[in-house]
Amino acid sequence: MGKFLLHPLLIFGLFSLIGLEGLPLHVFILTASLPCHAQTAILAQFYDTESEYASNLVSLSTIVSLVTIPVYAAILM
């Protein structure tokens, strides 16, 4: 929930306060709502810490982003 709701809202709030608007603001909001990187699971494997759990979360965030990215894109248009 934090990755797909809190991050974009936080970016919107902070960047709006400094006066950023238009396309640059939309790019930052969409970037903040992207899924977790696969490198997260790779680093978990490298450091021998719950790599299966990390890979499951990367997969889940990728699946959820199939819905959230188009929703944010539609809202920002």
Q: What is the per-residue pLDDT across 44-58, written as a single tens digit (0 to 9) for each?
A: 999 999 999 999 999
Ordered by start, the domain boundaries in the chain are: 2-76
User: Would you tell me how many other CB atoms lie within 10 Å of the CB of residue 39?
Assistant: 10
DSSP structure string for 20-31: --SHHHHHHHHH
Measured between its terminal Cα atoms, the distance across the chain in Å is 23
Tens of pLDDT along 9-44? 999 999 999 999 999 999 999 999 888 888 989 999
